[in-house]
Amino acid sequence: MKTLVIASGNAGKLREFNQLLAPLGIDVRPQAEFNVPEAEEPHITFVENALAKARHASRITGQPALADDSGICVDALGGAPGVFSARFAGEPRSDARNNEKLLADMQGQTNRAAHYYCVLVLVRHADDPQPIIAEGAWHGEILSEPRGEGGFGYDPLVLDPSQGKTVAELPHDIKNRISHRGKAMAALLEKLKLYPL
């Protein structure tokens, strides 16, 4: 069984990756099991941050590593919070404070369009010259108040019009299938058929 280090400490992301990769016989391990500290994320694009995190985890563990960088991009805010989604309201990270800031910034906005965006980068080793890169997007609208108890991050504020529910109201199996991360993972799995671990 192949081991794949997930370059994240986010419990929600780890749970989703486990559900998506377990059927493939890939032993998914969080980087914390290898005492890998969080990587710096100094870049202004999702793909550069994901690549930096994957190389960092692979360099320390000596294992293949998968990293994602994802966030929410709100049209009326010029794509913000974007790569700063996890720290939108500053440090320490707080979903509740991030959601409060987003709601405050959206007051009076008529354009409520937004999308979650995810880039996945898999490296077979730290200096992999051909990382596997996949992306996915999930379009929705920002509500004026939260709904639902599931998910994490901005999920209670993001309505999926096709489902008529917020991301926080969706069952895990549906969310995993239609989410930005689910779409990126499907694209990654297709690429893994051509370039296996």
Residue 144 labeled ligand binder: no
Q: Distance of CA 192 to CAs 48, 67, 152, Å?
A: 20, 15, 28
SS3 90: coil
Measured distance CA(142)–CA(75) in Å, rounded: 10
Tell whether residue 17 is among the known ligand binding residues: no
**Is 153 annotated for ligand binding?**
yes
Given 27, 68, 69, 160, which residue is catalytic?
69
Q: Is 43 annotated as a binding residue?
A: no
DSSP SS3 for 87: helix
Q: According to the annotation, is 12 in a ligand binding site?
A: yes
Q: What would you report as the CA-atom Rg of the chain, rounded to the nearest whole angstrom? A: 17
Query: Is position 34 annotated in a ligand binding site?
Result: no
- CA pseudo-torsion sign 51, 54, 60, 62: negative
Is position 70 annotated in a ligand binding site? yes
- The verdict on whether 127 is a catalytic residue reads no
Cβ burial, residue 179 (10 Å; 0-12/13-18/19+): buried
Q: Has 49 been labeled as part of a binding site? A: no
Contact 191/132 with Cβ under 8 angstroms?
yes
Please tell me whether 94 is known to bind a ligand: no
Q: Which residues are annotated as a binding site for Mg(2+)?
A: 40, 69
Q: Which residues are catalytic?
A: 69
Q: Which residues are annotated as a binding site for substrate?
A: 8-13, 70, 152-155, 175, 180-181
